[in-house]
Structure 1
Amino acid sequence: MNAQAQLPTVFDVQRVRADFPLLARTVHDKPLIYFDNANTSQKPLSVIEAVDDHYRLHNANVSRAVHQLGEEATAAYEGARDKLARFINATSRNELVLTSGTTQAANLVAYSYALPKLQPGDAIVTTVMEHHANIVPWQIIAQRSGATVKAAPIDQRGELIVEEFVKLLTPEVKLACVTHVSNVLGTVNPVRELARECRKRGIPLLVDGSQAVPHRPVDVQALGCDFYMLTGHKMLAPTGTGALWARKELLQAMPPFFGGGEMIREVSFDGTTFAEPPHRFEAGTPNIAGFAGLSAAIDYYDSIGFEAIHAWEQQLLAYATDRLREVPGLRLFGEAKEKEPVISFLIEGAQATDLATLLDLQGVAVRSGHHCAHPLMKFYGVPATLRASLAFYNTREEVDAFVTALLKVRTLLM
């Protein structure tokens, strides 16, 4: 294909890049090329200013004070919940538990929803392509309860074998889990189909949306899942922010697993009554400034629109994939029909870490390693890969410079 000819001309990427201060810096006296967006995204100035504005003008704790600052901080925190509810089309703001990220969200489901239901012989289903955050919590509670964790396989293209996933949905399964988009392969999983099959069998489906929400619109009602997790720092927001969406009836039935202030109605030594969801699951002081930043991040996405974002990223993905095929000895991992802009690869005769280190000296930031996906590395028979993950503020010129740098460092290692 002629990727260059297909690149859109209406998306003003240079205007967008001007909103991201860090993209203008140099690394090792080279212009920065930031291709580690699946790890964490860069932040637009509006997000940085929202965090700064909170600490300069509104800093107070939430839901604890009637003074002006306290009311402003609470409004900012709860405003982020409102925006997230709209962002993923939840039926109610009360279905959104604000968390520190996907890892906390997964553990909340593990200990508050799944563990009380598990008995010896029960099972949890996940897939080979999952991030460790969607594997390890299930293993821990399975070990405690005598349950097992079963993993659905994928094919060499990096696509989930749906019929094998469905075969695992036997009566003893109490929860199924799947990533919406693989952080290593970029594969987009057929969540609606999986949710439909789970629903037929009365099995709740949890979806890890960490790598989906930065790239595409998400509608939890349309997806038909029961739990959906997201993390803020991958979607332009500060670290330490995220959310768990869950169906109202599930949250209502879940006991808290993390206790402390602000998640209660009344405490006495005769017993404690807990707040209604979602506050039942939000003990302690949250990352208030971070959620002010997350609110600004959603506004930024809205200002551009996912139609434009997705179109640009898909064109960059196609262009980058074509250019990488020009590199001698390069092996691609993950060639699903539908994927987001994540490209994992190796070059014959070169270690991933060595490549990443030398690329850094050329100003190129990519990720090397197992990407918190050991089972996936084992499936492909490799200890690690190099991963270039793109975002809508990246450019074709950066792709060209990346490939030039890759060819250069390959020569040094051969």
Structure 2
Amino acid sequence: MNQNDLSIFNEHESEVRSYVRGFPTVFHEAKGYKLWDLDNKEYIDFFSGAGALNYGHNDDNMKKKLLEYIQEDGITHSLDMASKAKGEFLEKFHEVILKPRDLNYKVMFPGPTGTNTVESALKLARKVTGRTNVISFTNGFHGMTIGALSVTGNAFKRAGAGMPLQNAVTMPFDNYIQDTNQEIAYMERLIDDNGSGVDKPAAIILETVQGEGGLNAARMEWLKEVERVCRERDILLIIDDVQAGVGRTGTFFSFEPAGIKPDIVCLSKSIGGYGSPLALTLIHPDYDKFAPGEHNGTFRGNNMAFVTATEALNYWKDDQLEKSVQEKSKRIEEFLNKMIKKYPAMKGTHRGRGFMQGIASDVEDLSDKIAGKCFEHGLIMETAGPDDEVFKLFPPITIDDEGLDKGLAIIEKAIEEVVTEQTDLITS
């Protein structure tokens, strides 16, 4: 194919393609926080595979382990048979992640994607409790299969189901009813009132930071209150950490600062380390009630992902990466607040925490235009929120100071250009 010629994709790939429209070039090479297209133009990656590349592209240690495994003809596909690679991952995940955090979970491999782990969590909660209803939250996103869509808030994505989405009730997320702090009381009233029409749920499912929903970050006090509601009523608490987990918010699990212990945790995206498909459903042993094969999937035994995932856990043997993420997160927050103050025409508000932060703008199409300008200047960044009103900073959590500074400088340049263009339009 010709250099950066998109005609082959336009001609042969389905209209459902998405990111290629926002990033219209042909990528070929990637390393760390950088990508290059076929014209050898360099891009800084503030997208990180929508969270699947927390450690950046082609990490040297993971690549070395993967190549060694392939070279020795290590088993690639094994469904849920025992394999050396899976055993090593389970052991290390327990020793490095679960045990130091005093978390007691059985690990289920439900299939390789985020929506797989959500589906398994919903099915299990319903099986264990004998109830069908699930509470989810406004602007939540949990996947594109039917069960996961039923607990997803976005109207456009829900409409894609082409059928009624049932057995789920949407409640207001933290600060959805602004400055009232009434969300918990409202939820409790509806659960407890026999006249509300809301059946007692099997589970409550939530993201601590809503990624696709617009980087809405729940307060730790609110998360504690949700856990209390669950404990007092024998409702299972499911945390969807598919995007916010694996260090993106500054701790391995996004819920750690709240001091809560969910009954089920959904992990995918970056747990594979290298961008290799892998998902985990972490289950408190009391609820590990699936019969053998009751939930399965052909690709739930991705051994190459086990190899890279095991190597990636070395980043968590000490707190060095965690401290780095927390330190750089403060710099990102300071930068974004500076932009909001410096460019009031954006009408911007700060969103998110950790390495999933951004600015929401009430100005129509402004966030999309800023992301477009960033691409022109060599930075990849997406938008989020029900109306794509948030531009979303999602760098690899391993990015160095130089890469972070360069990326932030491009964002400021893009903001300045878009705001100037908007002002010129208004005054002309």
TM-score, reference length from structure 1: 0.71
123, 131, 138: which one aligns with 1:111: 123
Counterpart pick for 2:267 among 201, 206, 230: 230
Deviations 1:94-143 (Å, cap 9, x if unpaired)?
Answer: 70112413211111122344268566xx5311111311429952565999
CA distance in structure 2 between the aligned counterparts of 1:94 and 1:116, rounded to whole angstroms: 16
Match of 1:32 in 2: 43
Check if 1:83 corresponds to 2:92.
Answer: yes
- 1:175 aligned residue: 203
Shift of 1:289: 0.5
Measured in 1, the distance between the counterparts of 2:290 and 2:301 equals: 23
Aligned to 1:368: 383
Aligned alpha-carbon RMSD (Å): 3.9
SS state at 1:237 partner: coil
What count of residue pairs does the alignment treat as equivalent? 354
Moved more, 132-141 or 196-205: 132-141
Q: CA deviation at 1:144?
A: 9.1
Report the counterpart of residue 15 of structure 1 in structure 2: none
1:243 and 1:390, CA in 2 relative to 1: closer, same or farther beyond 3 A?
same
The percentage of aligned residue pairs carrying the same residue is 10
1:6-405 equivalences in 2 (<5 Å): 21-26=31-36, 31-37=42-48, 38-41=50-53, 42-43=56-57, 44-61=59-76, 74-89=83-98, 95-99=106-110, 100-114=112-126, 123-133=133-143, 137=147, 140=150, 147-155=167-175, 161-170=183-192, 172-183=200-211, 184-185=214-215, 187-190=217-220, 191-210=223-242, 211-214=244-247, 215-218=250-253, 223-233=260-270, 236-252=273-289, 256-258=293-295, 281=296, 286-302=301-317, 305-325=320-340, 326-333=342-349, 335=351, 341-346=356-361, 348=363, 350-370=365-385, 377=386, 382=387, 384-392=389-397, 393=399, 394-405=403-414
**CA distance in structure 2 between the aligned counterparts of 1:134 and 1:225, rounded to whole angstroms:** 23
Q: Contact 1:36–1:366 (CA<8 Å) still a contact in 2?
A: yes
Distance 1:61 1:92, change over 3 A: farther
- Which secondary structure state, in structure 2, belongs to the residue aligned with residue 314 of structure 1? helix
User: Structure 2 CA distance, aligned partners of 1:80 and 1:96?
Assistant: 11
Structure 1 residue 384 displacement after superposition: 4.3
**Structure 2 stretches lacking a partner, 5+ long:** 1-29, 153-162, 193-198
Q: CA–CA distance in 2 between the matches of 1:389 and 1:24?
A: 13
Alpha-carbon displacement from aligned partner over 1:341-364 (angstroms, at most 9, x marks no partner)? 421433735454443233211101
Answer yes or no: is 1:407 the counterpart of 2:416: yes
Distance 1:287 1:405 in 2: 40
Q: Distance in 2 between matches of 1:317 and 1:197?
A: 34
2:36–2:42 CA contact under 8 A, matched in 1: yes
Amino acid in structure 1 at the alignment position of 2:228: R
SS of the equivalent of 2:393 reads: strand
Answer whether contact 1:138 1:149 (CA < 8 A) is retained.
Answer: no
Write out per-residue CA displacement over residues 233-279 of structure 1, whole angstroms, 9 at most, x where no aligned residue: 37743231121101112113566444xxxxxxxxxxxxxxxxxxxxx
Secondary structure of residue in 2 paired with 1:89: helix
User: Quick one: structure 1 residues 303 and 186, their matched pair in 2 at CA, closer, same or farther if it must change by over 3 Å?
Assistant: farther
Q: 1:351 to 1:92 in 2, by over 3 A?
A: closer
- Aligned partners of 1:145 and 1:353: how far apart in 2? 30
User: Which residue in 2 is equivalent to 1:266?
Assistant: none
- Per the TM alignment, residue 226 of structure 1 is displaced from its structure 2 partner at its CA by 0.4
2:301 is matched by which residue type in structure 1?
P
CA distance in 1, matches of 2:210, 2:47: 14
Secondary structure at 1:239's aligned position in 2?
coil
Task: Determine if contact 2:104/2:285 at 8 Å carries over to the other structure.
Answer: no
Amino acid at match of 2:390: T
Q: 1:216 to 1:162 in 2, by over 3 A?
A: farther
Q: Distance in 2 between matches of 1:209 and 1:301?
A: 17
Letter matched to residue 103 of structure 1: T
SS of equivalent residue, structure 1 residue 348: coil
Alpha-carbon distance change, 118 to 333 in structure 1, aligned in 2, over 3 angstroms? farther
* 1:31/1:282 CA distance change after superposition, 3 Å: closer
- Give 1:80 shift: 1.5
Q: 1:34 deviation in Å?
A: 1.8
Following TM superposition, by how much is the alpha carbon of 1:77 offset from its aligned partner in structure 2, in angstroms?
Answer: 1.8
2 CA distance for matches of 1:146 and 1:311? 39
8 A Cα contact 1:112 1:256, kept in partner: no
Deviations 1:6-61 (A, max 9, x none): xxxxxxxxxxxxxx824355567765222114543223222233322221224225
SS state of the match for residue 117, structure 2? helix
> What residue in structure 1 maps to residue 3 of structure 2?
none
Encode CA deviations 1:159-183: one digit per residue, 9 max, x unaligned.
9834334444447222111112221
Contact 1:341-1:391 at 8 Å conserved across structures = no
- 3-state SS, counterpart of residue 98 of structure 2: coil
Q: Which residue pairs with 2:195 in the alignment?
A: none
- The verdict on how the C-alpha distance between 1:383 and 1:22 changes in structure 2, with shifts beyond 3 A counting, is closer
Find the aligned partners of 1:102 and 1:144 in 2 and give their Cα distance.
22
- SS of residue paired to 2:175: coil
Alpha-carbon distance between aligned partners in 2 of 1:157 and 1:342, rounded to the nearest angstrom? 21
**SS at structure 2 position matched to 1:406:** helix
TM-score of the pair, normalised by structure 2 = 0.69
